[in-house]
Structure 1
Amino acid sequence: MRRFMRHTALGFSRLDALDSRTMLSLGTGLPLAGPIASQSDSFSHEHILVRYDLGSIQHASIGDLAGELVPGLRAVPVPEGSSVAEAIALARADPRVLYAQPDYLVSITSSPNDPRFGSLWGLNNTGQLVGGTPGADISAMEAWSVTTGSPEVVVAVIDTGIDLSHPDLAPNLWVNPGEVGGNGRDDDGNHYVDDIHGWNFVTNTPNVRDDNNHGTHVAGIIGAVGNNELGVVGVNWNVQLMTLKFLNSSGKGTTSNAIKALNYAVQMGAHVSNHSYSGGAYDAAFADAVASARSRGHIVVTAAGNDFSNNDVNPAYPANYVSDNLISVAATDAYDYIAGFSNYGATTVHLGAPGVSILSTVRNGSYGYMSGTSMAAPHVTGAVALIRGLHPEWSYDQVIAKLLTTVDKVADLDGQVQTGGRLNLGRAVTSETVGPRIESASYVPGDHTRIRLRFNEAILPGSFTPDDLVSLTGPEGQGVEVTAVTAVPGSADREFDVSFTSAGIGTYQ
């Protein structure tokens, strides 16, 4: 099975044979690498964690194997004068290495000092709502023990605008680095004049102040400043919120302006955009905009809709545009039930997130409660931003796969959303980050036209197709056509059967 590819959210990397060596330390003259995490104090600078292929180190000395954490995994010192990123780059280039990562620092989990944090059941559900189910939340505190966000990540809030003077949001507002405000010129050449915080596509001006409350509420869920002894806290304590207004004071807008807003977000470098609105029919131009965003690695998060309708049967847009960079979100309540108003869809809605009685920022520096899939979507948008900030080297599909394969399975969402679960940000951030790997490969009992692959963790069934296999060679060295890849029922998406055209009994590679 050496010719199969090892699945990751990004794609596949070759399972080549690893050579046997004995030296388990890192050398010098390390190549430069991209950033490992946004916060340099979030991991040890003295060593990294490296997991070696057991076959490649079977002749290693006893001293080399001392301190092994699990078979093949050990802490390796960072060479003097080198950075953690450089050490990891060198380790990953070693054919013996299965994966290498920082040794992240953890601490006692404590609540942020924002005075109304206790009311944010979606982030930490202690049963504070009468009858609420403790733990029916996104496990934000577990995630915050690793990271609280990154100011390098830009989130586009495509909505009714944002209260720019809100003290819980103002420090996290995106500022266009190429524009000089108030000079009446298009300094950065993007065809928008004085677009300091974004753009108002309703009036075609840089005035992006919220005149409705909806956009400010959404923004607070994503990125209200954390631990500032004020109001609430967002999923991200540190992030950049780009303000793109296309909905008017009544909460209505045109599809054409929504497309312009998405295009602006992508053009100006936003990593993810939140779309907490629904309505209208399929629009080919919008589908093209989502596809264009995909080509730039931009993730689109959408509200599933509030009609308690099956999106598989009655499409709702933009949630139903088909692209692997789009996530559609249903709303759940404090009991882990799907909200009575929420749209659903076993194939078109991806997961659930808190969306009932959500406290967040509103205009005039105030706070208020709202409900809707409009509130569920920004929980997921904030989660995307948090993961992206922790792993800036990941592609959009790696981020999405990590988020969707780490949900909490919830009985009321089974058969209602694609993953059957509700967002668990804590698990997404703290679970193994190297991506799924093939653990075993064998014939399906009694069938010599199917090979069963078992992965070390769940992968998205739709992301594993015949095109994801490099090649399959038959016993006589002939090429063999792979005809289908199907998930094995009951395997929690860890086992897949690869069907192929039979070339006789023997060894397939």
Structure 2
Amino acid sequence: MKKHSKIIIFILVLSYLLSGTAFSADIPDDSNVEIVSDEVSAERYARCYDERNYEREFAPGQVFITLKSTTPIVEDYGVLFSEVDVDYVKVISEKFIVIHLVEKTRDSVIDAIDELKDSEYVKFAEPNYRVYSGEAVVPNDEDYNLMNTWHLQITEADEAWNYSTGSSDVTVGVIDSGVSPVADLVANIDYERGINFLDETEPPIDIYNHGTPVAGIIGAVGNNGIGISGVCWNATIVPLKIYDTTNREYYVTGIVEGLIAATAMNLDIVNISYSSLTGDGMLEAIQNYNGLVVVSAGNNNTDLNYNTFYPAALSDECDNMIVVGGSTPYDYRYDLTEQGSNYGDCEVHLFAPGAWIYTTCADGSYRFMTGTSFAAPMVTGAAALVLSYHPDYTTAQVKEAILNSVDQVNALTDLCITGGRLNVKNALLYTPISCGDLNYDWRISNVDVIALARYLENVLELTEHQLSMADMNGDSVVDNTDLDLLAMMVV
């Protein structure tokens, strides 16, 4: 989004409100590391290739061909491609043609590409993908307007909806105060699997008004003619209530119970919008959970590099965790008189809108909410949307897609690991490169190459997870072939 658009959004929202390194090994320099970059077959990159590109919308029965410069100009290009069943060929120019296949299916396109990719005449063969205008999708929810939805527009969630609005197959656990069955949420809430850990005879209904706003940001039903839209219009939200209504308290044990339940139910994502001064007991519960854990950074206005709050402090020991700080409409860390978003370029992964977020409330109304509690569900909703669009993605790939696609923001550069703010559309369209990212900095660089080289020289130890990421060609053996492939990925 352009800078002047952000300024307009900020002014409108403000006017309205006023009116009413995980890799710690000693890596030597690369002066003595041989970077091998001989020709390697493209097929050996297959493990890192986003195969789901084939499954996005494209024209059935059509293959878009970029011809090599040596291809002869002929009257009937079909005669050059006898290896596939050609109906007819549309010539766009001397360099580009579209082969229309006899069989008008998407499977026929994939099969044809496999046949054509080695043709002496073909430089590139690909599906004829559908293109989008890039315009925002505007749902018909009655409160959907610029004033109330700046958080969806600045993160380009509204443009992401051109590609996906979510799927009920994606399950999200909300470990919180419960979720109320308000009109804009109830269709997406799974009360059958929901749990009230303080009283399992009672449903996990929210009376504290924290879990319902969180759930609304994640997955309020979109385009239903009422209220608002969540980041992910369609998802299955499982409320895991840990709020003690008698003592009006939350406990770390409740979070652990919620994580254990999420593990047992095999939920895809868990949102935890809480922080505590202690919480080492959460470590094993988080590590045993296979899904993505999104947690809020906390509202203590402090640097988490030097002050410990849980579960955020566990992020360097939990590969499946994302820690989220809160930002304003003008892309600054939210910092109010009495509270502000925690930060830290070693602990907080990214920022997301967390100030003046318009969302659902437990009594059925809608209000503006502020705090990192409401920034975390922005990322949770984005993760649900990514997983809806890419159901084959692993937890690591979903995390990578979110962290590697942020909008870089000067004001956040030194405040979080990525130096940026969530961009939902970018995350949705991002192609993961987690293969080879041995130091978990969400990019492939010479540091990764050196680390693998030192491992192969028996100088450096790598963890089991790092070794799995170093297996570039997927043959379950980490050797010099993987080093060659990794070196070729360095830009």
CA distance in 2, matches of 1:48, 1:376: 43
Instruction: Check the 8 A contact 1:465/1:484 in 2, yes or no.
Output: no
* Paired position in structure 2 for 1:266: 263
Task: Name the CA distance, whole Å, in 2 between partners of 1:113 and 1:346.
Answer: 39
- In the alignment, the residues of structure 2 paired with residue 49 and residue 381 of structure 1 have an alpha-carbon distance, to the nearest angstrom, of 36
SS at match of 1:328: strand
Q: Percent identity?
A: 31
Q: Does 1:151 align with 2:168?
A: yes
**Map 1:408-423 → 2, pairs under 5 A:** 408-423=407-422
- What's the offset of the Cα at 1:430? 3.5
Spell out, residue by residue over 1:8-59, the C-alpha distance to the aligned partner (whole angstroms, 9 max, x if none).
Answer: xxxxxx953669xxxxxxxxxxxxxx9959xx9x71351577899x9xx787
CA contact (8 A) 1:198 1:206 kept: no
Q: Choose which of 131, 138, 143 in structure 2 pairs with 1:116.
A: 143
CA distance in 2, matches of 1:290, 1:361: 28
TM-score, normalising length: structure 2: 0.69
- Specify the alignment match of 2:190 in structure 1: 174
| CA separation of 1:47 and 1:406: change in aligned 2, threshold 3 A | farther
- Counterparts of 2:65 and 2:424 in 1: how far apart (Å)? 25
Report if the CA contact (8 A) 2:271-2:380 is conserved.
yes
Q: Which residue of 310, 316, 331 corresponds with 2:309?
A: 316
Find the aligned partners of 2:444 and 2:186 in 1 and give their Cα distance. 41
| Alpha-carbon distance between aligned partners in 2 of 1:465 and 1:200, rounded to the nearest angstrom | 45
TM-score w.r.t. the length of structure 1 is 0.67
Q: In the alignment, which residue of structure 2 is the partner of 1:80?
A: 103
Residues 148-180 of structure 1 deviation map (CA, whole Å, 9 limit, x = unaligned): 11121111111000012x1100111126xxxxx
| Inter-partner Cα distance in structure 1 for 2:233 and 2:173 | 16
1:241 to 237, 251, 261: 237
Check whether the contact 1:2–1:16 (CA below 8 A) recurs between aligned residues. no
Partner Cα separation in structure 2 for residue 292 and residue 174 of structure 1: 23
Moved more, 362-371 or 247-256: 247-256
User: What is aligned with 2:210?
Assistant: 214
RMSD: 4.3
Task: Give the number of aligned pairs.
Answer: 397
Structure 2, gaps ≥5 residues long? 1-33, 45-49, 82-88, 463-486
Distance 2:116 2:173 in 1: 39
Measured after TM superposition, the shift of residue 484 of structure 1 is 11
Q: 217, 220, 223: which is aligned to 1:224? A: 220
Structure 2 counterpart SS, 1:155: strand
> C-alpha displacement at 1:122, in angstroms?
3.8
CA distance in 2 between partners of 1:73 and 1:267 (Å): 52
Structure having the larger proportion of residues in strand: 1
1:301 is aligned, of 281, 294, 297, to: 294
1:272-421 residue pairs with structure 2 within 5 A?
272-283=269-280, 285-293=281-289, 296=290, 298-321=291-314, 322=316, 323-340=318-335, 341-421=340-420
Q: C-alpha distance in 1, partners of 2:201/2:36?
A: 56
Q: How far does residue 261 in structure 1 lie from its aligned partner after superposition? A: 0.7
CA distance, structure 2, for counterparts of residue 205 and residue 15 of structure 1: 61
Asked if structure 2 preserves the Cα contact closer than 8 Å seen for 1:173 and 1:240, the reply is yes
Q: Give the Cα–Cα distance (whole angstroms) in 2 for the partners of residues 92 and 218 of structure 1.
A: 46
Aligned partners of 1:389 and 1:78: how far apart in 2?
A: 30
Query: Alpha carbons of 1:205 and 1:437: their partners in 2 closer, same or farther (altered >3 Å)?
Result: closer
- Aligned-partner SS, 1:382: helix
Change (3 A) 1:44 1:303: same
Q: Is 2:155 the partner of 1:138? A: yes
CA distance in structure 1 between the aligned counterparts of 2:241 and 2:401, rounded to whole angstroms: 30
For 2:446 and 2:292, the matched residues in 1 are separated by 16
For the 8 Å contact 1:92–1:100, the answer to whether it is kept is no
Q: What is the distance in 1 between the residues matched to 2:445 and 2:312?
A: 18
Alignment deviations for residues 241-286 of structure 1 (CA, whole Å, 9 cap, x no partner): 1111012347622212211111211221211110001113132x41
**Residue 288 and residue 210 in structure 1: after superposition, are their counterparts in 2 closer, same or farther (change >3 A)?**
same
- Secondary structure of 1:117's match? coil
User: Matches of 1:156 and 1:463 in 2, distance apart?
Assistant: 38
